[in-house]
Amino acid sequence: MTKKDPIPLSVYIHIPWCIHKCPYCDFNSHEFKGQDIKNNEVIYTNALIKQIENFNFDSQRPIHSIFFGGGTPSLFSPATFEKIIGKIKDKYGLKEDCEITIEANPGTIDKQYFYGYRDVGINRISLGIQSFNEKHLKNLERIHNQKEAIEAANLAIKLFNEVNIDLMFALPGQTKLELNNDIKMALDIGSSHISYYHLTIEPNTFFFKHPPDIPDQDKSAELSDLVSEKLKYANFKHYETSAYAEIGSQCRHNLNYWNFGDYLGIGAGAHTKITSKKSIRRYACHKNPKYYISAINGNNYFDENRLLTTNDSVFEFMMNSLRLNDGFDINSFEEKTFLPISEIKKELSVAKEKRLITEINGRIKPTILGQRYLNELLQIFLRG
């Protein structure tokens, strides 16, 4: 971004339902329990459209990326996405090369839907594969098996410009050999982007209440190194904590979060960040889908609406940009937070002394140590 460019603006749309709630998942996703999915799709889509129509703020910026995330967006039909994309286009305008991503679960693949998604303008797909190993897929209670994962990935590669696959490592009882096989199968698929997440045991999940036997810190570090080495060897750049991509295939939507860009969050629990008149405001929609629908119908959109303080801006900027292995430009800090870099002089010196960051030619980057101990690094920027 040069000095004159406006802060990029993207749109996130949340689809909060899944066929089965995975035992590790803390996302705002709810299992369908005998509900009529088609009826839900219609009612929820109407609420999304209403939010897009009524969401007014001071911006003339065209949308540079759209991301349909979940939950499981691939439960919804292409016609629904066509309607939503059309509404966003009418209201805000899309940049010519707008990246439009859908998250899909390999257990919900309907071939006709996949063709339809492509035909309504979706140009990137992100598949939640997690592992190719049947034992681990069962332990994670995934609704797909290895064969379905491979079929979904092959179809995705055939139809979309950009394909991401989500995988997780440090799974209960996972050996190096098993991880090696997963990495090999992922590379054989031929996608240009891999998100490789360290399985975390989140509060409010089944795994938190019934902890599985996961690899300890040392073993997890070894598994993490294996992922990095193998993907680097295959010419994937490790550009963010959990993201690897071939040149030119980084996810523009996620990069906008990590670069502290702006976004509109549409749907249950979705978050918005808007910069206007040298201040930054955050909003969040009501999290429960039923409550979100009735709140939207009553023109009461947000559960949260707050102006960021200086301390919030510092921490939130760092929390995002230090996830990037290339870090951030000092100019970008000043342009996005409206604060001089001297505001964080003390914290930067502490982080440098601890060898968690380096500064070269006006760019501040986490070191390998800083990447490994990201939480410790971020603590330095947490004030008050």
Ligand X SMILES: C[S@@+](CC[C@H](N)C(=O)[O-])C[C@H]1O[C@@H](n2cnc3c(N)ncnc32)[C@H](O)[C@@H]1O
Site residues, ligand SF4 (CB under 6 A): 18, 21-22, 25, 27, 29, 70-72, 105, 128
Q: Where are the alpha helices (DSSP H) in 190-306?
A: 206-209, 217-233, 252-258, 289-297
Shortest reach from residue 35's CB to ligand SF4, in Å: 15
Indicate the angle between helix axes 176-189 and 217-233, nearest 10 degrees: 30
Binds 192: which of ligand X, ligand SF4, none (CB < 5-8 Å by kind): none
Interaction with ligand X in 126-165: which residues (CB under 6 A)?
Answer: 128, 130
Shortest reach from residue 108's CB to ligand SF4, in Å: 9
| Residue 32 engages ligand X in binding (rule: CB under 6 A) | no
Shortest reach from residue 181's CB to ligand X, in Å: 18
| Residue with smaller CB distance to ligand X, 103 or 262 | 103
- Per CB under 6 A, the list member of 168, 171, 189, 227 interacting with ligand X is 168
Angle at 332 between CA 327 and CA 333, to 5 degrees: 80
Binds 289: which of ligand SF4, ligand X, none (CB < 5-8 Å by kind): none
| Residue with smaller CB distance to ligand SF4, 27 or 55 | 27
CB within 8 Å of 109: residues ≥ 6 apart = 74, 148, 151, 152, 155
Shortest reach from residue 130's CB to ligand X, in Å: 6
| Residue 84 engages ligand X in binding (rule: CB under 6 A) | no
Per this entry, what is the length of the chain? 384
Binds 166: which of ligand SF4, ligand X, none (CB < 5-8 Å by kind): ligand X
Binds 200: which of ligand X, ligand SF4, none (CB < 5-8 Å by kind): ligand X
Shortest reach from residue 276's CB to ligand X, in Å: 29
Number of residues in contact with ligand X, rule: CB under 6 A?
A: 16
What's the order of all strands across the beta sheet hosting 363-366? Answer: 328-329, 363-366, 357-360
Q: Tokens at residue 274, please?
A: 């808007």
Shortest reach from residue 347's CB to ligand X, in Å: 28
Binds 168: which of ligand X, ligand SF4, none (CB < 5-8 Å by kind): ligand X
| Residue with smaller CB distance to ligand SF4, 48 or 324 | 48
Q: What single DSSP character describes residue 72?
A: -
Q: Tokens at residue 298, please?
A: 């009553």
What is d(CA 68, CA 58) in angstroms, rounded to the nearest whole number?
Answer: 24
Q: Which strand (E) or helix (H) includes residue 84?
A: helix 78-92
Question: What does 348-362 look like in DSSP terms, one character per residue?
Answer: HHHHHHTTSEEEETT
What is d(CA 126, CA 104) in angstroms, rounded to the nearest whole number?
Answer: 6
| Residue with smaller CB distance to ligand SF4, 22 or 324 | 22
Binds 21: which of ligand X, ligand SF4, none (CB < 5-8 Å by kind): ligand SF4
What is d(CA 145, CA 136) in angstroms, rounded to the nearest whole number?
Answer: 10
| Residue 101 engages ligand X in binding (rule: CB under 6 A) | no
Shortest reach from residue 214's CB to ligand X, in Å: 10
End-to-end alpha-carbon separation of the chain, Å?
31
Residue 354 phi, psi dihedral angles, 5° rounding = -85, 5
